[in-house]
Structure 1
Amino acid sequence: MDINYRCKIPQCEGLNDSLWIEFAIPKVNNKFEKCNTYEFVGEGEKCEANSFNRSSIVKCDAYVYSDEDSIVKDFDLACQHWKRTFVGSAYSAGFFIALPLTGVFSDNFGRVKAISVATAMYGVFGLLRSFSNGYLMFVMAEFLETASAAAAYSASFVFGMELVQPSGRVFGNTLMNFSYIFGSMTLPMIAWWLQNWRYMLRLVYTPSFIVISYLLFVNESPRWLLSKGRAEEAISIILKAEKMNNVKLPDHLLASLKASPKSEDEDRYEPFSSVFVKVVKSRTMLFRLILYCYLWITCSFGYYGLSINSVSLAGNKYLNFMLVAFIEMPANALCCMVLNKFGRKKVLITWYTLSAVFCISLSLLPKQDSIWPLIFYLAGKFSITVSYTTVYISVSEAFPTNARQSLLAVCSTTGRIGSTLAPLTPLLALYYQNLPTIFFGSLALTASVLSFATPETNNLTLPDNTKEAEKISK
């Protein structure tokens, strides 16, 4: 976010008396402008009322910054709003590279390898960014961080979904999201405590290197191994799980896993490359892919947009960010209660609509000395979080195992159009304060209508091939 600064006026800076600011800098709504000053027409180092031409306003060429820790101050970004907001866009743009590549990597080499390598890359570029000596290096490190590592979460999500039975997917997703929320709430606490963005990055990213050890002791997804025809390895892991949980699976279930893939189902172990061809040729699957891509765009645009704009709300920016993050916890708890009971489609339609109502209504509420804008803002974030979680689960259930990570990556990559544009939305507030939330609400409204076309995947077994995935719609 922006910080406090003003024009630097060399003729006046050394004076103990700061009254000269009153006649040196224009005011808008009783606040000093940050980017403009009255033209200096005095002589020498005198700084008096008649030293400025109040009928002539000029752009600043140097600035005096407040004592706040920020890249705006460190890299001299005053009044360069596009550079400030572009940091978030550069971060999100990296997803367009990372998600497809990691999706292919995960579907070919396994979930655990994808998670471990991607998270280690997070640590490398996150720490590198903390040593940035200029804006360009900072933005490049921001982009490369996500370009090499952004799919760590989606790979973890798919891994988790493949470990649980249909009735356990929502609860498993809720546990993962609670961890995500805990991280989101911890971030502003660390920033508030350290008040130094370089130290904050070093503290936040160093634990990423621990995840590389997953290669040594975390077992691969048995479902992924089975999809690759590696039944013996999958059964070995299942037997470990039997021992750890003190349970015994029926012998006929283990025997069925050892059966020859060709005798069971010709398509069950089809290579992921052929799945893409079948998706493109299938009208049902292609329409489903396009539909989920749009829903993902609207979710990411509203979700990240509301998070980013929260620091501009009245009050403490750290507490506001924590509140907007915390509201995701009851949202995910609600998902856990309603998704299995009412199904995916009804939840999507309902909460997309509510998100639109809350966001658009913000423009109708009084702003002065009222808590209602904050309440509606949190309600909007609550609603879009429910929608986002539901979309995530629906996508993971709607596509076949061999290409699940890759097709989820396609949806997530396309959805990053929304998260790439979201950091730019604070610029809209320069023209009208509620314009960002009106945009969020409008997109959510169209998504609620399109959600009628989504397939219902509640309590269905995950499809292992294209034919099984097509049957979901029927």
Structure 2
Amino acid sequence: MTKEGPPIELDVILKQLGAFGKFNIINYGLMLIPIFLAGMYGSVFVFEATDINYRCKIKECEGLNNSEWLVNAIPVKNDELAKCSRYSLKDNASSDESCNADAFDRTNQLKCDELVYSDEDSAVRDFNLGCQDWKRTLIGTVRNSGLFISLPLTGIISDRFGRKRALVMAALMSGIFGLARSFSVSYVMMLILEFFESALGGGINSTSFVLAVELVAPKGRVLGTTVLNLISTLGMMSLPAFSWWFQDWRKLLRIIYTPAILVFSYLWLLNESVRWLLSKGRNVEAAEILLKAAKMNNVDISEELNPLYKLEVKSDTQEVKKEEIDDDKAKVSTFKQVIRSRVIRTRVCMCSFLWITCTFVYYGLSINSVSLGGNKYMNFMLVSFMDIPGSILCLIVLDRFGRKKILSIFYIMSACLCICQSFVPEDPKWLSLALYLSGKLCIVVAYSSLYIYVSEVFPTSVRQSLLATCSSLGRVGSTLAPLTPLLALYSNNLPAILFGTLALVASGMVLILPETINMPLPDTIEAAEQLATRS
């Protein structure tokens, strides 16, 4: 066993064990639960503070038995009453005019002093956020800004203390703060709990994907991560269904966050990443897991391909402890070496920009879907559903055509579809919706491919830390995405044009990066750097 990391035979051993034997299926099955929950948590703010109907309160008229006076007191725009403005009452209006047209000055509009809300459930009504769209969209921005903390934090915990502990911590924090948020008594309290939930619990996805990538041989990576993507999509589609059913955002939070507390049991149920254990010199533990996997999968590992088996038999406790101490000393400078590598630094910057593009376009299209015509719950489910064919398409093409080509092509297609959709007339509506959904499909393929690709270009010892760095910087996109509905107040085309422009830039940037199809995961910095020479 070298001090540089796991032996190159590890991928051969994983191949012998099989991509999806009983051991792999059980571990993947356990990861599906937090992945499903994370699929809901990522967009729950859309239904916590969904926009609802409201109007100005006209104190002079509210006591009347009929509502015919509303069109006299409130401006009508696009066959709907204005939400935030009213006509002023004439100075000479008498109380017996019953709020008819003569009682109001239609040349003078005023901002609302007080609002009357519909019976729809939303934090907008509970905390009186009407006519303050910036406060409503700020909830999503604050939530996603917490990911700047959680992703690096989870990455550090994962690389230092293990993937399993990082996953448990993230799920537990999500559950605690999500449940607490359901008892919010003010807008500020809601914002604070929203931030801390994502700041301490937002690393569920990244940790699960790293565990999945490290669990199987190269040929099984795409299929494994595709399964996780599909389950995450089912979680996202379940969110509007639950919201539509309960019609109570507080009850919704209590229902979806309670299961996250149960993930604490994974400390005993889930197996740690063998690759991570080997990178830390914990060879006996790694050997035990591999032998357990072989037994569960009914596979006999060839001894000539299995130095881990020999190590597990011949090593005594003192030798293992000494190796762990030596390995810890060797790893102290690993991150410094990464920073000094120009190739790795450049790769981190470029992957971060690709991630910004994916999150901005992906979440931007999802969030803006509730503003499309028709039922907002069905629209969100339909846009979320596009993740399923997108993930399946990724499975079909990624191992056939390579990472670079697929990323570049689907960034370009997403850009073209988004820009075209912005110039298509509203009628017929099906055409605009078809372009919108197709744009989402393409960015899903790019996003799914990016998760796999970024996991393959960095060394094992700092893989999750660097993946978390890229993902964290990439959250600039998801932090800004909730604000894009505000752009539509100036022009309906602005969000789509912005999405398309950013995707177009990303498509060209992909071509500079190395190809990783069917290559072993790099375990050292040197191996990661050499990927560029093999492209």
Residue of structure 1 equivalent to 2:289:
237
Cα distance in 2 for residues equivalent to 1:382 and 1:271: 44
After TM superposition, where is structure 1 displaced by more than 3 Å over at least 4 residues in a row?
Answer: 42-46, 256-261, 267-273
SS of 1:280's partner is: helix
Cα distance in 1 for residues equivalent to 2:269 and 2:70: 64
Corresponding letter in the other structure for 1:186: S
Corresponding letter in the other structure for 1:24: A
Cα distance in 2 for residues equivalent to 1:454 and 1:273: 28
| 2:451 counterpart (371, 389, 392) | 392
Corresponding letter in the other structure for 1:351: F
Residues 106-131 of structure 1: CA distance to partner in whole angstroms, max 9, x if unpaired? 00000000001110111001101111
| 1:107 counterpart (159, 164, 172) | 159
Cα distance in 1 for residues equivalent to 2:191 and 2:481: 17
Cα distance in 2 for residues equivalent to 1:139 and 1:291: 32
Q: Is the 8 Å Cα contact of residues 85 and 423 (structure 1) preserved in structure 2? A: yes
Q: Is the 8 Å Cα contact of residues 423 and 493 (structure 2) preserved in structure 1? A: no
Q: Displacement, 1:239?
A: 0.7
| 2:420 counterpart (361, 366, 382) | 361
Residue of structure 1 equivalent to 2:57:
8
| 1:443 counterpart (496, 502, 524) | 502
Residue 226 to residue 466, structure 1, CA distance change in 2 (3 Å): same
Q: Displacement, 1:269?
A: 7.6
Residue of structure 2 equivalent to 1:33:
82
Residues 1:378 and 2:429 are matched in the alignment: no
SS of 1:61's partner is: coil
- Give percent identity, aligned residues only: 52
Cα distance in 2 for residues equivalent to 1:30 and 1:198: 32
Cα distance in 2 for residues equivalent to 1:279 and 1:294: 19
Residues 406-434 of structure 1: CA distance to partner in whole angstroms, max 9, x if unpaired? 00010000000000000000011111112
Residue of structure 2 equivalent to 1:153:
205
Residues 1:466 and 2:525 are matched in the alignment: yes
Residue of structure 1 equivalent to 2:29:
none
SS of 2:121's partner is: coil
Cα distance in 2 for residues equivalent to 1:207 and 1:244: 28
Q: Is the 8 Å Cα contact of residues 386 and 437 (structure 2) preserved in structure 1? A: yes
Residue 433 to residue 273, structure 1, CA distance change in 2 (3 Å): farther
Residues 245-294 of structure 1: CA distance to partner in whole angstroms, max 9, x if unpaired? 11011112332573999xx9xx9987555232222221111111100000
Residue of structure 2 equivalent to 1:214:
266
Residues 14-33 of structure 1: CA distance to partner in whole angstroms, max 9, x if unpaired? 10121211111112333321
Cα distance in 1 for residues equivalent to 2:253 and 2:338: 41
SS of 1:198's partner is: helix
**Structure 1 unaligned residues grouped into runs of 5+:** none
Cα distance in 1 for residues equivalent to 2:527 and 2:244: 50
Q: Displacement, 1:205?
A: 0.6
Cα distance in 2 for residues equivalent to 1:90 and 1:370: 33
Cα distance in 2 for residues equivalent to 1:273 and 1:458: 31
Corresponding letter in the other structure for 2:515: E
**Structure 2 unaligned residues grouped into runs of 5+:** 1-49
For residues 10-89 of structure 1, the aligned pairs below 5 Å read 10-41=59-90, 42-44=93-95, 46-89=98-141
Q: Displacement, 1:67?
A: 1.3
Q: Is the 8 Å Cα contact of residues 269 and 402 (structure 1) preserved in structure 2? A: no
Residues 340-374 of structure 1: CA distance to partner in whole angstroms, max 9, x if unpaired? 11000000110000000100001221203430111
Residues 99-152 of structure 1: CA distance to partner in whole angstroms, max 9, x if unpaired? 111100000000000001110111001101111111111111111100011011
- The alignment's TM-score, normalised by the length of structure 2, stands at 0.85
Residues 1:175 and 2:253 are matched in the alignment: no
Cα distance in 2 for residues equivalent to 1:273 and 1:347: 37
Q: Is the 8 Å Cα contact of residues 99 and 150 (structure 1) preserved in structure 2? A: yes
Identify which range, 270-279 or 169-178, moves more after superposition.
270-279
CA RMSD of aligned residues (A): 1.7
Cα distance in 2 for residues equivalent to 1:462 and 1:269: 21
Residues 356-405 of structure 1: CA distance to partner in whole angstroms, max 9, x if unpaired? 01000012212034301110010000000101111111110000001000
Residues 1:405 and 2:464 are matched in the alignment: yes
Q: Displacement, 1:307?
A: 0.5
SS of 1:9's partner is: coil
Cα distance in 2 for residues equivalent to 1:61 and 1:124: 37
SS of 2:160's partner is: helix
Q: Is the 8 Å Cα contact of residues 227 and 269 (structure 1) preserved in structure 2? A: no
Residue of structure 1 equivalent to 2:377:
318
Cα distance in 2 for residues equivalent to 1:286 and 1:312: 40
Q: Is the 8 Å Cα contact of residues 362 and 443 (structure 2) preserved in structure 1? A: yes
SS of 1:6's partner is: strand
Residue of structure 1 equivalent to 2:45:
none
Q: Is the 8 Å Cα contact of residues 280 and 327 (structure 2) preserved in structure 1? A: no
Residue of structure 2 equivalent to 1:253:
305
SS of 1:430's partner is: coil
| 1:274 counterpart (333, 336, 340) | 333
Residue of structure 2 equivalent to 1:284:
343
SS of 1:461's partner is: coil
Identify which range, 226-235 or 360-369, moves more after superposition.
360-369
The alignment covers a number of residue pairs equal to 470
Residues 1:332 and 2:391 are matched in the alignment: yes
Q: Is the 8 Å Cα contact of residues 172 and 263 (structure 2) preserved in structure 1? A: yes
SS of 1:367's partner is: coil
Residue of structure 1 equivalent to 2:9:
none
Residues 1:434 and 2:493 are matched in the alignment: yes
Cα distance in 2 for residues equivalent to 1:368 and 1:459: 46
Residue 268 to residue 470, structure 1, CA distance change in 2 (3 Å): farther
Cα distance in 1 for residues equivalent to 2:113 and 2:521: 60
Cα distance in 2 for residues equivalent to 1:204 and 1:100: 25
Q: Is the 8 Å Cα contact of residues 235 and 254 (structure 1) preserved in structure 2? A: no
Q: Is the 8 Å Cα contact of residues 281 and 327 (structure 2) preserved in structure 1? A: no
- The alignment's TM-score, normalised by the length of structure 1, stands at 0.96
SS of 2:466's partner is: helix
| 1:454 counterpart (493, 502, 513) | 513
Cα distance in 2 for residues equivalent to 1:270 and 1:422: 42
Q: Displacement, 1:43?
A: 4.7
